[in-house]
Chains A and B, each alone.
Chain A
Amino acid sequence: MPNVSMKVNGKDVSGEVEGRTLLVQFLREHLNLTGTHVGCDTSQCGACVVHVDGKAIKSCTALAAACDGAVVITIEGLAKDGNLHPMQEAFREHHGLQCGFCTPGMIMAGVDIAKRRGKKLTEATIRSELDGNICRCTGYHNIVKAIQAGAAKM
């Protein structure tokens, strides 16, 4: 079984995994970072979005072995020194979550959108960029508002 090492949320971690082990399984089952969720099996829902080497990816679609040596940030690693990331804060302020299951992926995607598209995001840009994230609770109305506000404060 291959041994993988990566830096997850600032900590060096390593572990033996089966070749087929997905990044999301490594995070959830080996590292007990259960904030990253699995909502589908076709890479559609985006509940599993994490940042790998600074880019948002769906961790259900990457092999853990392929992320050997990578720098990974999950929802658990977004807050710094006990301070919430502005995107996390914005989701709470704007009621951008209900059941919370899609939320980690939405927040990680939101941070990535802001990084790529800038602080001033239009509603249309956010809606189009959220193509890879499904929420069943909020109707997206408040998620769009939260990402807009969160991006502005990043």
Chain B
Amino acid sequence: MSDTGIGARMVRKEDHRFITGKGRYTDDINLQGQTYAHFVRSPHAHAKIKKIDVKKAEKAPGVHAVLTGDDVAADGIGGLICGWMIHSKDGTPMKAGGHPVLAQGKVRYVGDHVAVVVADTLAQAQAAAELVNVSYEELKSVVETGKAQKRGAPRIHDVAPGNRIYDWAIGDEAATNKAFEAAAHVTQLDITNNRLVPNPMEPRVALGSYDTGEDHFTLYTTSQNPHVARLVISAFIGVAPEHKLRVVAPDVGGGFGSKIFIYAEEVVCLWASKRIGGRPVKWTSDRSEAFLCDAHGRDHVTHAELALDVKGKILGLRVKTVANLGAYMSTFSSSVPTYLYATLLSGQYNIANIYAEVDAVYTNTAPVDAYRGAGRPEATYVVERLVETAAREMEIDPAELRRRNFVTEFPHQTPVIMCYDAGDYNASLKAAMKMADYKSFSVRRAATEAKGKLRGIGFSNYIEACGIAPSAAVGSLGAGVGLWESAEVRVNPVGTVEVLTGSHSHGQGHETTFAQLVSDRLGIDADQVAIVHGDTDKVQFGMGTYGSRSGAVGMTAISKALDKIEAKATKVAAHVMEASEKDVEFKNGTFSVKGTDKKMAFGEVALQAYVAHKFDSNEVEPGLKEGAFHDPSNFTFPAGCHICEVEVDPETGVTEIANWVAVDDFGTVINPMIVEGQVHGGIAQGVGQALTEGCVYDPDSGQLVTGSFMDYCMPRADDLPSFDLGFTKTECPSNPLGLKGCGEAGAIAAPAALINAITDAIGVKDVPMPATPQAVWNAIQSNAAKQAAE
């Protein structure tokens, strides 16, 4: 292994600019003649718009335009779309209500975009927005997931009676019911997967610019997938055809899913720039707007049942989930509670019968879409809470119950689409138990109890499906796009390399990891490699970064392009060294002719490819540049075991995490330092969900109660411990590098481990997330009251 090749703990190439304040985020970009947009947003959860009077605002100082939904309609600008079709059980398509980029006739959540003011300065735009007079007729609203379908709930979209977007199911209902009839034990849980606000630290920004001379648009935006943004904004929303629209996503300050989606503000800034004659229009979200308008995550209400035989062998799993998709269907929202959720309900276990029903509902809340893990944390939470609870009810050690049910032979076809290709769940469980010193837990528990506190331990044996995904497979499930990835490798005449990738890095460290792959393959230093991404004018096409796919899919595309580079360079080297191609070997950056002392460095061959003096250009084309598209043949299946230990103060309900062990199997690891960082961050977000974060709307008014960092509790440094990480390895067979993906694992595993530990500590069946001191204290008190009554 070289210092910069696969497996090296190489410090990140991109860090220099970030640690010196030279990162270039969208808000750092300012264009000549730039104006500022401020959005007028709905103060009501649900209302009819009777009239919008913009006259006063239009006359305010510095104002260039005040635009409303009528202007959008007049210019033929289309609405935002949801790109994944889901069909209900009866075969009818999902009920997608219109999502105009500025409201037309009705507002459906607090923060809904009603009008935009464009002015010379932000202060002028804000001041003029105060003069926009919107007359509303308030309507009854519903924000609670479990109440959206109830009789008497107001209808949010005309197309969706009962606010039901779809009622979808997967699995064999009859067989599953039969399994339950045969069960010796049934464990039941009612679970709420709490609503979260993603909150990447960089708020969203859009800077749209229209070039009147070229009739061409440029959008600088905080996107995880600029090409998908361009595709949707051109093909569906109709701002401009793709060749007339460039989308640039420069340094992006975190995404966690929330920057996958195409948002109204991006479309409006582009369109408004043309409307005002080509001056650029910039919108920078403040944190309050981010809370109101960024797509939120999770928000499921679930009833789940697990059927077991007398020995703890799982016979069946039955799940009924209601998923809140908010007031409008965001870009990939429909897929999250269906194909990214219910297909993972088999967990790490051999479960013959699974049946899951999912109702997706509209509510008067911000749209809900993918957030780190997207469906898989919800699935893991259901499975791992059920298994742990079953173990306690049946008085079987929770590790032992898991062991009795693990999938041990691969490939393993689950009853819910997924075919697990490789894994060793016993190995990660065993390693984690050793690191957590599980056998001495009772000693630690006694020590904790001696000081008046309670101690608990919780497992979470998660599995996820990443590397999403084979295009034909997701197409058959309703996806509107293919999910391949592209790469282009350009070798310069001096032997340095540029890699253009459709993946997008917003914290994942692609500039380093991808360069390590090239370094490994071509035998050149990673410093000789530049990774180019995030600009539709530079990279021809790409699907972007989400779903832990950039390694398994994005790097495989690079690897394929490198195969072609190697083949071409071998040809050139053979001509130059006057040898037969089959006698030329490439190793450690050097081409050599077998059985001779003839050799050429990679850089020399690159130069020869460009000067083209030593070969017939009819036989070998000059130059050294190759591209590849990679479409994966299967999902990848990272899995692992997290064990969490907590101390709970029964007097205050305060939970302290005493220890966190994570053992993950991500297949091949390119840069362990970066992978560990991904796990740390993922766990922190999972701990945030389980312990501190919860998005709350007032059920009566529909107002967002948790609208700032003062009210929404982001995990801080002193809420978290340091983490103890380990790795096991089974290579992924579906890509040449053996990669599985690591970006979401922590967020998927953590909530179940933590809630399993807290419920173990305080001796209750369930405690709601976030398990705040108040929630834990309440659970302790009601349990004590129940026991006293018994």
Contacts and interface: CB of A to CB of B under 8 A. Distances in A.
Contacts of A42: 287, 708-710
Nearest to A90: B19
A33 to B, nearest CB: 7
5 contacts: A41-B287, A91-B15, A92-B15, A99-B254, A104-B21
Interface in A18-71: 18, 28, 33-42, 44-45, 47
B96 interface: no
A4 interface: no
Interface string B252-277: 11101000000000000000000000
B201 A47 contact: yes
A95 B673 contact: yes
Given A37-B25, A42-B710, A47-B201, 14 more contacts: A40-B708, A41-B287, A99-B254, A100-B19, A100-B23, A123-B722, A128-B717, A130-B716, A130-B717, A136-B254, A136-B714, A138-B680, A139-B682, A142-B680
B202 interface: yes
Interface in A62-96: 74-76, 78-79, 84, 88, 91-93, 95
A135 interface: yes
Contacts of B199: 136
Interface string B335-365: 0000000000000000000000000000000
Contacts, number: 172
Given A88-B19, A103-B19, A139-B680, A95 B507 contact: no
B735 to A, nearest CB: 24
Contacts of A152: none
Contacts of A123: 722
Given A40-B287, A99-B200, A136-B200, A75 B21 contact: yes
Contacts of A128: 717-718
Nearest to B256: A136
B509 interface: yes
A99 B717 contact: no
A98 B201 CA distance: 11
A38 B290 CA distance: 13
Contacts of B18: 97, 100, 103
Interface in B13-29: 14-25, 27-28
A37 B202 contact: yes
B720 A139 contact: yes
A144 B720 CA distance: 11
Contacts of B20: 35, 75-76, 78-79, 84, 88
Interface string A138-150: 1111111000000
A114 interface: no
B717 A126 contact: yes
Contacts of B16: 92
Contacts of A143: 717
A99 B12 CA distance: 12
Contact of B201 (A39, A130, A140, A141): A39
Interface residues of A, number: 54
B651 interface: no
A36 B531 CA distance: 25
A125 to B, nearest CB: 10
Given A34-B21, A44-B708, A98-B677, A134 B201 contact: yes
Nearest to B679: A139
A104 to B, nearest CB: 5
A102 interface: yes
Contacts of A107: 19
A18 B683 CA distance: 44
A131 interface: yes
Contacts of B25: 34, 37, 101
Given A137-B681, A141-B680, A39 B202 contact: yes
A127 interface: yes
Interface string B706-725: 00111000101110101100
Given A35-B22, A91-B15, A142-B677, A44 B709 contact: yes
A42 B141 CA distance: 29
A40 B21 CA distance: 18
Contacts of B298: none
A99 B11 contact: no
B11 A93 contact: yes
B590 interface: no
Interface in B223-259: 251-254, 256
B561 interface: no
A40 B709 contact: yes
Given A39-B287, A141-B680, A101 B201 contact: yes
Interface of B: 11-12, 14-25, 27-28, 123, 199-203, 251-254, 256, 286-288, 506-509, 673-674, 676-677, 680-685, 708-710, 714, 716-718, 720, 722-723, 746
Given A40-B287, A99-B254, A135-B201, A144 B717 contact: yes
Contacts of A41: 286-288, 708
Contacts of B19: 75, 84, 88, 91-92, 97, 100, 103, 107
Given A79-B20, A92-B12, A99-B254, A139 B683 contact: yes
A116 B716 CA distance: 21
B104 to A, nearest CB: 29
Contacts of B685: 136, 139
Contacts of A74: 21
B709 A34 contact: no
B78 to A, nearest CB: 32
A134 B23 contact: no
A142 B288 CA distance: 29
A99 B258 CA distance: 14
Contacts of B710: 42, 44
A139 B718 contact: no
B22 to A, nearest CB: 7
- 5 shortest A-B CB distances, which residue pairs? A35-B21, A101-B253, A100-B18, A139-B684, A99-B507
Contacts of B251: 99-100
B201 A95 contact: no
A137 B507 contact: yes
Contact of B202 (A35, A78, A101, A142): A101
Given A141-B723, A142-B680, A144-B717, A35 B287 contact: no
Nearest to A89: B19
Contact of B716 (A104, A131, A137): A131
Contacts of A37: 25, 201-202, 253
Contacts of A76: 20-22
B681 A97 contact: no
A80 to B, nearest CB: 12
Nearest to B714: A134
Nearest to B372: A136
B727 to A, nearest CB: 16
Given A130-B718, A139-B680, A141-B722, A99 B709 contact: no
Contacts of B683: 139
Nearest to A44: B709
Nearest to A129: B717
A91 to B, nearest CB: 5
B681 A138 contact: yes
B680 A45 contact: no
Contacts of B17: 100
A129 to B, nearest CB: 8
B7 to A, nearest CB: 16
Contacts of B252: 99
Nearest to A79: B20
A74 B682 CA distance: 30
B28 to A, nearest CB: 4
